[in-house]
């Protein structure tokens, strides 16, 4: 099914919003407003935006740590102010400021973020089982970095999801670098999607810089899942522009990363690609583009201002008293 003009504009707008929020968070880190770290997702926005822009609110989403999940959570409906407030330790954050960056909002179907990579897979299968039992055609989407797909939890979860035909989507955001290691030296094959064959799960490789291509493949998989036809595996090829975390030495295998490689990928920036296409198709004009840009910038500036002004908890110890058990 072809995208409507509105849907295309929505995808483009979401790309820009995510980029602006990423920039806001980098700035917040460098000015000390974020006290720990930020793993920028610059250049990888098309994966999350393409996959999540048209999810239902009651669908479940497990996002990867890259970009602290903003290309997924912001798109799923979590306001930027709440994301920022959580990073700033404010009580208005989605987890009362307790989580640092582990975004969670069950009303939006975002159950949280695992501190150990690969922790999401079995949890997602459990939610897939719940969705299947509930029978409301919800889907469960897991988007993880390629490095994470090496975890044994993936194997165990795929077997379960495939055997029971659960409405799960496994999306590989392959940015080609795991920490400081190029993924090609730790993975035996070119495509992670090849792993799907062993489980009898349909698997596709898609250009992760092309938001429309990502959306198309993911939508096919979502439709399959909603039709009770079981899980799918989609590998999106993208590239990590920034270091593992902002401010960390940008090294590969102990040596500085070459700028040439980064430049090649900067030329395939997902926003530029989408912009070019929509201008050519006449969906957007230069004026529209500036308007979208300005709107997103305003949204993030205001979110930042409000979040920073939000209150800190007056009595941290009260929060900790409630930390362990529901009652």
Which residues are near other proteins by CB under 8 A? 26, 30, 35-37, 89, 95, 97-102, 114-118, 147-148, 150-156, 159, 162-163, 178-181, 185-189, 194-201, 243-256, 312-313, 316-317, 319-320, 323-324
Shortest distance in whole angstroms from residue 254 CB to other proteins? 2
Residues 157/121, Cβ–Cβ less than 8 Å: yes
Provide Rg for the chain, Cα atoms: 19
Judged by beta carbon, residue 115 or residue 294, the one nearer other proteins is 115
Shortest distance in whole angstroms from residue 103 CB to other proteins? 11
**C-alpha torsion angle, residues 286, 292, 297, 298 (rounded to 10):** 120
Q: What is the 3-state secondary structure (H, E, C) of 165-221?
A: CCCEEEEEEECCEECCEEHHHCCCCCCHHHHHHHHCCCEEEEECCCHHHHHHHHHHH
Judged by beta carbon, residue 215 or residue 244, the one nearer other proteins is 244
Judged by beta carbon, residue 11 or residue 85, the one nearer other proteins is 85
Shortest distance in whole angstroms from residue 209 CB to other proteins? 23
Q: Cα 108–110–112 angle (5° rounding)?
A: 150
SS3 114: coil
Judged by beta carbon, residue 201 or residue 284, the one nearer other proteins is 201
Query: What burial letters (b/e) apply to 125-160, b meaning 16+ CB within 10 Å?
Result: bbbbbebbeeeebbbbbbbbbbbbbbbebbeebbeb
Shortest distance in whole angstroms from residue 302 CB to other proteins? 23
Shortest distance in whole angstroms from residue 301 CB to other proteins? 20
Shortest distance in whole angstroms from residue 59 CB to other proteins? 23
Judged by beta carbon, residue 194 or residue 288, the one nearer other proteins is 194
Shortest distance in whole angstroms from residue 280 CB to other proteins? 33
Judged by beta carbon, residue 1 or residue 324, the one nearer other proteins is 324
Q: What is the rounded distance in angstroms from the CA atom of residue 110 to the CA atom of residue 83? A: 12
Q: What is the rounded distance in angstroms from the CA atom of residue 147 to the CA atom of residue 66? A: 12
Q: What is the rounded distance in angstroms from the CA atom of residue 110 to the CA atom of residue 72? A: 10
User: 194, 108, 102: which is closest to 146 by C-alpha?
Assistant: 194
Q: What is the rounded distance in angstroms from the CA atom of residue 196 to the CA atom of residue 54? A: 24
Judged by beta carbon, residue 89 or residue 111, the one nearer other proteins is 89
């Amino acid at each position: 099914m072809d995208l409507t003009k509105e849907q295309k504009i929505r995808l483009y707008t979401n790309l820009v919003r995510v980029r602006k929020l990423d920039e806001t968070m980098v700035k917040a880190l460098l000015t000390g407003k974020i006290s720990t770290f930020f793993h920028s997702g610059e250049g990888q926005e098309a994966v999350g935006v393409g996959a999540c822009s048209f999810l239902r609110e009651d669908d479940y989403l497990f996002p990867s740590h890259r970009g602290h999940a903003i290309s997924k959570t912001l798109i799923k409906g979590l306001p930027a102010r709440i994301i920022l407030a959580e990073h700033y330790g404010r009580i208005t954050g989605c987890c009362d400021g307790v989580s640092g960056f582990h975004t969670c909002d069950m009303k939006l179907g975002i159950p949280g973020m695992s501190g150990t990579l690969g922790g999401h897979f079995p949890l997602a299968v459990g939610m897939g089982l719940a969705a299947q039992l509930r029978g409301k055609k919800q889907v469960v989407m897991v988007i993880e970095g390629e490095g994470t797909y090496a975890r044994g939890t993936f194997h165990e979860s795929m077997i379960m999801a495939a055997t029971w035909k659960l409405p799960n989507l496994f999306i590989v955001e392959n940015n080609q670098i795991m920490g400081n290691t190029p993924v090609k030296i730790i993975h035996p094959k070119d495509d992670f999607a090849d792993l799907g064959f062993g489980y009898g799960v349909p698997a596709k490789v898609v250009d992760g810089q092309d938001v429309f291509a990502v959306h198309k493949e993911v939508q096919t998989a979502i439709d399959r899942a909603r039709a009770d036809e079981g899980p799918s595996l989609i590998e999106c090829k993208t590239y990590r522009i920034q270091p593992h975390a902002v401010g960390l030495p940008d090294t590969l295998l102990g040596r500085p990363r070459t700028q040439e490689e980064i430049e090649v990928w900067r030329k395939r920036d997902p926003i530029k690609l989408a912009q070019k296409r929509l201008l050519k198709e006449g969906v957007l004009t230069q004026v529209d583009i500036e308007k979208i840009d300005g709107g997103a910038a305003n949204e993030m500036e205001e979110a930042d201002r409000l979040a920073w002004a939000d209150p800190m908890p007056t009595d941290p110890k009260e929060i900790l008293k409630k930390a362990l058990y529901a009652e």
